[in-house]
Amino acid sequence: MANSWPTLAGIAVFLAMLGLQQLIEPGTQRLLTAVFLFVALAQAWNIIGGYTGYASFGQVAFFGLGAYTVAVLMNNYHVSFWAAMPVAIVIGVAFAVGIGVPLLRLRGHYFAIATLGAAEGAREVINNMTPVTGGGGGITIPTFGDQAPTAYLGKPGFYIAFLVVAAASVAIAAVLARSRFGYAMVAVNQDEDAAASVGINTTLVKVIAFGVSAAIVACAGAFYAFQQIAFYPTDVFDTSFTVLMVIMVVIGGSGTVLGPLVGAVGLELLAQYLRVNLGIYNQLIFGAIIVLVVIFFPQGVVNFFRDAWRSRNFSILDNVRRYRL
Amino acid sequence: MSQFLQAAAYGFVQGGLLALVAVGFSLVWGIMNVINLSHGALAVTGAYLAWLLNTHFGIDPFLSIPIVAACMFVLGYVIQRGLINLVINAPIFLTLLLTFGLGLVILNTLQLVFTADDRSIETSYASQSFVIWTVNIPYGRLGACALAVAITVLLALVMTRTRLGRAIGATGMDRGAARLMGIRARHIYAVTFGISAALAGIAGTMIATVGTFNPTSTPSQLTLDAFVISVLGGLGNMYGALAGGLVLGVAESIGGLVLTGTWVNAIAMAVLILTLIIRPSGLIGKAQYGGRVEV
Instruction: Provide the shortest C-alpha distance from residue A215 to chain B (in Å).
Output: 23
Residue type, B214: N
Q: Taking CB atoms and an 8 Å limit, are B263 and A112 in contact across chains?
A: no
**Residue A232 forms contact with B (CB below 8 Å):** no
Q: What's the pLDDT at B176?
A: 87
> If you ran DSSP here, which 8-state letter would residue A238 be given?
-
Q: Taking CB atoms and an 8 Å limit, are B273 and A118 in contact across chains?
A: yes
pLDDT band (50, 70, 90) for residue A91? very high
**Residue A197 forms contact with B (CB below 8 Å):** no
Q: Taking CB atoms and an 8 Å limit, are B109 and A284 in contact across chains?
A: yes
For residue B120, count other CB atoms closer than 10 A to its CB. Answer: 17
From chain B, the residues in CB contact with A241 under 8 A are none
Domain spans, chain A: 2-239
Q: What's the pLDDT at A149?
A: 78
Q: What's the pLDDT at A187?
A: 93
For residue B146, count other CB atoms closer than 10 A to its CB. Answer: 12
User: What residues contact A102, with CB distance under 8 A and at least 6 apart?
Assistant: B277
Question: How many independent structural domains does chain B possess?
Answer: 1
Q: Taking CB atoms and an 8 Å limit, are B97 and A247 in contact across chains?
A: yes
Pick from B4, B24, B43, B62: nearest CA to B214: B43
Q: What's the pLDDT at B287?
A: 45
Q: What's the pLDDT at B295?
A: 29
| pLDDT single digits (tens) A172-220 | 999 998 899 999 999 999 888 899 999 999 899 999 999 999 999 999 9
Instruction: Provide the shortest C-alpha distance from residue A26 to chain B (in Å).
Output: 31
Q: Taking CB atoms and an 8 Å limit, are B94 and A281 in contact across chains?
A: no
The domain that contains B54 carries what CATH number? 1.10.3470
User: What residues contact A183, with CB distance under 8 A and at least 6 apart?
Assistant: none
The interface pTM score, or ipTM, of the predicted complex is 0.82
Q: Which range marks the domain in which residue B130 is found?
A: 2-290
Name the more confident of B127 and A311: A311
Instruction: Provide the shortest C-alpha distance from residue B231 to chain A (in Å).
Output: 8
CB pairs under 8 A between A and B: 138
**Residue A16 vs residues A9, A163, A266, A276: alpha-carbon distances, Å:** 10, 11, 18, 26
For residue A157, count other CB atoms closer than 10 A to its CB. Answer: 14
Beta bridge partners of B131: B136
Pick from B25, B10, B84: nearest CA to B222: B25
Q: What's the pLDDT at B255?
A: 83
Q: What's the pLDDT at B289?
A: 42
CA gap A100, B270 in Å, rounded:
16
Q: Taking CB atoms and an 8 Å limit, are A112 and B92 in contact across chains?
A: yes
Instruction: Provide the shortest C-alpha distance from residue B34 to chain A (in Å).
Output: 9
Residue type, B30: G
Q: What are phi and psi of B119, to 5 degrees?
A: -125, 160
Q: Tally the residues of chain B.
A: 295
| pLDDT(A67) > 90 | yes
Name the more confident of A235 and B72: B72
Residue A240 is inside which H or E element, if any? Answer: helix A239-252
Mean pLDDT by 10 residues, chain B (295 residues): 81 88 90 89 94 88 91 95 88 84 91 86 76 78 87 89 90 88 91 94 91 85 86 80 88 82 73 74 55 35
User: What residues contact B103, with CB distance under 8 A and at least 6 apart?
Assistant: A287, B37, B38, B40, B41, B219, B223
From chain A, the residues in CB contact with B230 under 8 A are none
Q: Taking CB atoms and an 8 Å limit, are B280 and A128 in contact across chains?
A: no
User: What residues contact B138, with CB distance under 8 A and at least 6 apart?
Assistant: B13, B126, B127, B128, B129, B210
Name the more confident of A276 and A172: A172
User: What residues contact A238, with CB distance under 8 A and at least 6 apart?
Assistant: A60
CA gap A203, A17 in Å, rounded:
38
pTM of the model: 0.83
Q: What's the pLDDT at B284?
A: 67
Q: Choose the mutation target among A109, A126, A130, A293 for the interface with B, i.e. most B CBs under 10 Å.
A: A109
> If you ran DSSP here, which 8-state letter would residue B281 be given?
T
Buried b / exposed e along A245-263 (16+ C-beta atoms within 10 A): bbbbbbbbbbbbbbbbbbb
Q: Taking CB atoms and an 8 Å limit, are B266 and A120 in contact across chains?
A: yes
From chain B, the residues in CB contact with A98 under 8 A are none
Q: What's the pLDDT at A152?
A: 81
Instruction: Provide the shortest C-alpha distance from residue B175 to chain A (in Å).
Output: 10
